[in-house]
Chains A and B, each alone.
Chain A
């Protein structure tokens, strides 16, 4: 497709379960970002990929969070042993290699932990 695609669009799960969120960036975009946004709050940076490498993991809130990217394309964000405070919208964005290119966002995954 032409844009960033995220799946699932909505996820409801019980506390303690693991969840996996997927992001398909725009074809050819080497930079990929994951953000978290709680209701009524700003974007919270989680992790950034350049190609398949993650030079900046500084935003991951705990060791329950991990992410990987393969083939310089699809990325998955995994949250283990989910907690209620993990409830948020998880947004993925991609951009071209050079730093003066803007990010393009997917629609996000709305995660609700019961």
Chain B
């Protein structure tokens, strides 16, 4: 089983709609969680950290469910510019603090 798993999608979303997707992780001791976005042929960029109480940044809401070992990202009022691949990142809890990336979920927002 992979340490970090994501539904690859694509999630096709009409402009203005809401989309949500999850990322599961295998290490119950993981403490650090992030969402990145990656545009086509560009480097990944940090979107937001995920806090245990859940957090919101504008139209983006991140949640952590420790019991079921997944994090989620919800995008409200989708914009065309939200089209990207969203990468989930989880720490591996090794002594070195290494972070592990999921393969990404593709979101396509359509007019």
A interface, CB within 8 angstroms of B: 31, 33, 35, 41-43, 45, 48, 50, 55-56, 89, 91, 93, 95, 97-108
Contact = CB atoms under 8 A, between A and B. Distances in A.
What is the interface residue range for chain B against chain A? 20 to 34
Contact of A106 (B43, B98, B104): B43
Given A99-B31, A100-B31, A102-B49, A45 B44 contact: no
A31 B96 CA distance: 9
B97 A50 contact: yes
B45 A105 contact: yes
A99 B101 contact: no
A100 B43 contact: no
Interface string B9-41: 000000000000000000000011010100001
Contacts of B94: 55-56
Nearest to B6: A42
A28 to B, nearest CB: 15
B87 A43 contact: yes
B97 A31 contact: yes
B99 A103 contact: yes
Residue of A31, A95, A100 with most chain B CB atoms under a 10 A cut-off: A100
A107 B38 CA distance: 12
Given A43-B44, A55-B96, A100 B91 contact: yes
Contacts of A105: 43-45
Nearest to B47: A102
A99 B43 contact: no
B46 interface: yes
B89 A102 contact: yes
Contacts of B74: none
B101 A100 contact: no
Interface in B69-111: 87, 89, 91, 93-104
B101 A45 contact: yes
